[in-house]
Amino acid sequence: MAAAEKTLRGRAARGGHYGVIALFTIFSAFPFYWMLITTFKSTPDLLKRGNNPFILNEAPTLEHLKVLFYDTLYGQWLWNTFFVGAIVVAITLVLAVPAGYALARMMGPAGEKLGIAIFLTYLVPPTLLFIPMSRIIGDLGLQDSLWSLVLVYPSFTIPFSTWLLMGFFKAIPKDLEEAAMIDGLSRFGAFVKVVIPISVAGILTTVIFTLTLVMQEFVYAVTFITAARNFTVSVGVPTFLVHGDVYFWGSLMAGCFISSVPVALLYNFFVDRFIAGFTMGAVKG
């Protein structure tokens, strides 16, 4: 009797576990499903109130994709977003990796306080910073140029990435570097040949975090860019597909879905390393 009761409890626990996972999966995947199904719905199907909004009530259509790619500059906006994102990621890694390592190895409370001070600069709202930033962009003659975004975005990606990597580097035992230096490597050589290879999770976390911030940033992009050909996806899609109170829902969802798929795939391919890097930085930071 006791064994049967124990088996029943075990099955109930597994059922509850799988139920929670199923609910979380549905909750996480629903936005992608909604964007995908709306992309291929005809306009009458979208607007008719009696239709079931969760399925295709009529034959699928490509009209919203045609509007997105032929009536807007969506392809150019995707390229602009990738261009800015790639350069900002490179700048962030070049500056944040050595800065995080230096702060992690700095002895005493000074390193900890300096790391927290750098992180606090990330918390300053962009709505307060874009006014002085606009003066700098104007003096440099970078108005309506993608290089203005390349200059501004590292101001908030580097502080957080430095703090994140500092926590990750703290988790690496100093004995590994000291053993490498005893074997003849310099401090820089030990950093490049020993620390960097075992810090892939933290560096990958920085790459994903930076790329995501660049893709979703709106305030600076709409402030410094005025020409449609220089828009990024986050500005171009709502600017051209929302006319007053008229929303091109199918094309809006198509634009959001296409731009979000690469980031979603990146998260899924490297989810284990991403979680490891993020949690380690949070705990040790």
Average pLDDT over every residue of 118-142: 82
Average pLDDT along the chain? 85
Closest CA to 170 of 19, 78, 280, 256: 280
Residue 28 reports pLDDT greater than 50: yes
8-state DSSP, 56: -
Torsion of CA 222, 223, 229, 234, to 10 degrees: -20
pLDDT of residue 103: 85
pLDDT of residue 96: 92
Percentage of residues of the chain with pLDDT beyond 70: 93
Among 52-66, 97-111, 215-229, whose mean pLDDT is lowest?
97-111
pLDDT of residue 276: 64
Closest CA to 213 of 136, 106, 122, 276: 122
Q: What is the pTM of this model?
A: 0.82
Q: Which residue has the higher pLDDT, 252 or 279?
A: 252
Q: Which residue has the higher pLDDT, 108 or 258?
A: 258
Strands (E), the chain: 242-243, 246-247
Indicate the pairing of strand 242-243 with strand 246-247: antiparallel
Average pLDDT over every residue of 132-156: 90
134 membership: H or E segment, kind and range: helix 126-139
Average pLDDT over every residue of 1-8: 74
Percentage of residues of the chain with pLDDT beyond 90: 29
Q: Which residue has the higher pLDDT, 254 or 174?
A: 254
pLDDT band at 30 (very low <50, low <70, confident <90, very high): very high
pLDDT of residue 83: 94
